[in-house]
Homo-oligomer: A and B are copies of this chain.
Amino acid sequence: MFDFKYYTPTKVMFGKNAEDKVAQLIQEFGGKKVLIHYGGGSVIRSGLMQKVTDQLDKAGIPYVKLGGAVPNPRLSLVYEGIELCKKEGIDFLLAVGGGSAIDSAKAIGYGVMNDGDVWDLYDYKKQAKASMPLGVILTLAATGSEMSDSSVITKEEGLVKRGYSSDYGRPKFAILNPDLTMTLPDYQTACGCTDIMMHTMERYFTNGGNMELTDSMAEALLRTVKEQAKILVKDPNNYEARAEVMWAGSLSHNGLTGCGNDGGDWMTHKLEHELGGLYDVAHGAGLAAIWGSWARYVYKDCLPRFKRYAINVMGVPATGSDEEIALKGIEAMEDFYREINMPTNLKELGVNATDEDLALMAHKCAVGVNGAKGSAKLLHEEDMLAIYKMSRKD
């Protein structure tokens, strides 16, 4: 196993009406003037925004609102948020929404507290030295950004989607009320479950440094999300299932399920990032559309993990050759994706990619600042292209 750092300082308030504590939490972490950052109108229509601003008014905490964070959040809005914070003397960020609002808020926080262009962080040109304190009210269980150190921003020019990770980006608090995710469309719920599982799967499929405690807890999390996702397809208002998935979303990306490993594989995410940059598909659906092809391409190079996954997560009987067991695990996972109405290839995702599109994505993925990478199997540009082609079901 490898040495590791584990640092999850986010104070999580989990449960019904947890959002009633927002003013108190902002004060606890020293906030005096708040930027409330959110996405579309759903948090307004649901009454959540009113609930939040009522509390801030009552507590005498001034605030400014900035909406408009979209899936694959845009750099231009980040710039706008930075200017707004500086102009208004904001000292605390409150993201109300899902990963888009949180990631966008993280980037705003970096931009206010670090000199120069904030994109330089996402372009791996420099490191953050600070950020603004950030609190979260989560309305979509998926990205795990509410406890994670990471954020993903898309630069409109060239549609470049890049992630940046720093402990400064970890939120001070996260309010997790499963009821707030009840109104999500089923497709978004399934996308969230896919993303949540993938954050642990990316850490799980590695060729180095495994720790039994991490692996067995990761498998527990994966089994749980798989079963709860199936419940939510039929019963989207099931509070318990919503809660299981919501808490799993935070634990799946706060570092816990990767302790002691080599950092993980992350190629499904990287391949999807290029997809998301070019086509603006839902992140979770993009992951599902790519994963099976990636898995079939790499599994022989990471056979012990694929075998273990098949048995311990997918419940495949431990009979037959290792390869047979591993393949059955991949098939079972694809069956699961179908069961929750997720795509298993680009066509089902609704993407009709030309050869040129695939070549462009593979090239961007390979020559970008992330470079050729992967732990289950080291992938170069031609490997990435092969996986994209497989995912097109040529």
Contacts and interface: CB of A to CB of B under 8 A. Distances in A.
Given A8-B8, A9-B9, A18-B3, A243 B260 contact: yes
A219 B248 CA distance: 16
A14 interface: yes
A232 B2 CA distance: 20
A247 B224 contact: no
A260 B241 CA distance: 13
Contact of A247 (B16, B213, B227, B244): B213
Interface in A1-20: 1-9, 11-16, 18
A213 B178 CA distance: 14
A378 to B, nearest CB: 24
A5 B11 contact: yes
A217 interface: yes
Nearest to A259: B247
A199 to B, nearest CB: 14
A181 to B, nearest CB: 15
A14 B18 contact: no
A228 interface: yes
Nearest to A170: B9
A113 to B, nearest CB: 17
Interface string A229-261: 000000000001001100110010000100110
Contact of A12 (B2, B7, B251): B7
Interface residues on A, range: 35 or more
A360 interface: no
A4 B8 contact: no
A160 interface: no
Interface in A351-387: none
A326 interface: no
Task: State the copy count for this chain.
Answer: 2
Contacts of A247: 211, 213, 259-260
A4 B11 contact: no
Contacts of A224: 212-213, 216
Given A220-B216, A251-B213, A243 B1 contact: yes
A223 interface: yes
A15 B7 contact: no
Contact of A220 (B5, B219, B240): B219
Contacts of A216: 220-221, 223-224
Contacts of A227: 212
Contact of A14 (B4, B15, B228): B4
Given A223-B216, A243-B260, A260-B243, A11 B3 contact: no
The 10 A-B residue pairs whose C-beta atoms are closest, nearest first, are A3-B15, A216-B220, A9-B9, A6-B12, A7-B11, A213-B224, A220-B220, A217-B220, A217-B217, A4-B14
14 contacts: A1-B243, A3-B15, A4-B15, A5-B12, A8-B9, A9-B9, A9-B11, A212-B228, A213-B244, A213-B248, A216-B220, A216-B223, A217-B220, A247-B259
Interface of A: 1-9, 11-16, 18, 211-213, 216-217, 219-221, 223-224, 227-228, 240, 243-244, 247-248, 251, 256, 259-260
Given A213-B247, A216-B223, 17 more contacts: A1-B240, A2-B15, A4-B14, A4-B15, A5-B11, A5-B12, A7-B11, A7-B12, A8-B9, A14-B259, A211-B244, A212-B244, A213-B221, A213-B248, A213-B251, A217-B220, A220-B220
